[in-house]
């Protein structure tokens, strides 16, 4: 199983293992990170699963779709590494990826 490094809003960093094929949001949620709300359950209709992806992995991710882009535009915390974790399928190629849970808007 590939590893995902999750940094909480308070700066705590934890390595977790994730099942290939789940979304990054599901890996985070299934490993007990309660501050990632993911209110819509992964339907890309809110931005409560917003994360900042480590720059070295940004180019390994699929392009941002129009719905994801619109939702991220609603966040004051958006930056060049912002993604909705529900839109990122966790794959072996993402082994070791580091994400920081975005501040709550």
Task: Write out the residue range of the structural domain in which residue 53 sits.
Answer: 3-101
Q: What is the CATH number of the domain that holds 8?
A: 3.10.20.30
Overall domain count for the chain: 1
Query: For residue range 5-23, what is the model confidence (pLDDT) as tens digits?
Result: 999 999 999 999 999 999 9
Say if residues 4 and 88 touch (Cβ distance below 8 Å): no
- pTM score: 0.95
E strand map for 1-103: 3-7, 13-17, 50-53, 82-84, 97-101
Query: For residue range 31-82, what is the model confidence (pLDDT) as tens digits?
Result: 999 999 999 999 999 999 999 999 999 999 999 999 999 999 999 999 999 9
């Amino acid at each position: 199983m590939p590893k995902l490094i999750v940094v909480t809003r308070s700066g705590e960093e934890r390595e977790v293992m994730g099942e290939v094929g789940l979304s990054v949001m599901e890996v985070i949620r299934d490993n007990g990170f309660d501050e990632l709300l993911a209110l819509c359950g992964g339907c890309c209709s809110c931005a409560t699963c917003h994360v900042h992806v480590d720059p070295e992995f940004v180019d390994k991710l699929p392009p941002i779709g129009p719905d994801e882009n619109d939702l991220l535009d609603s966040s004051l915390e958006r930056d060049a590494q912002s993604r909705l974790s529900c839109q990122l399928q966790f794959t072996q190629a993402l082994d070791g990826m580091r994400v920081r849970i975005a501040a709550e808007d």
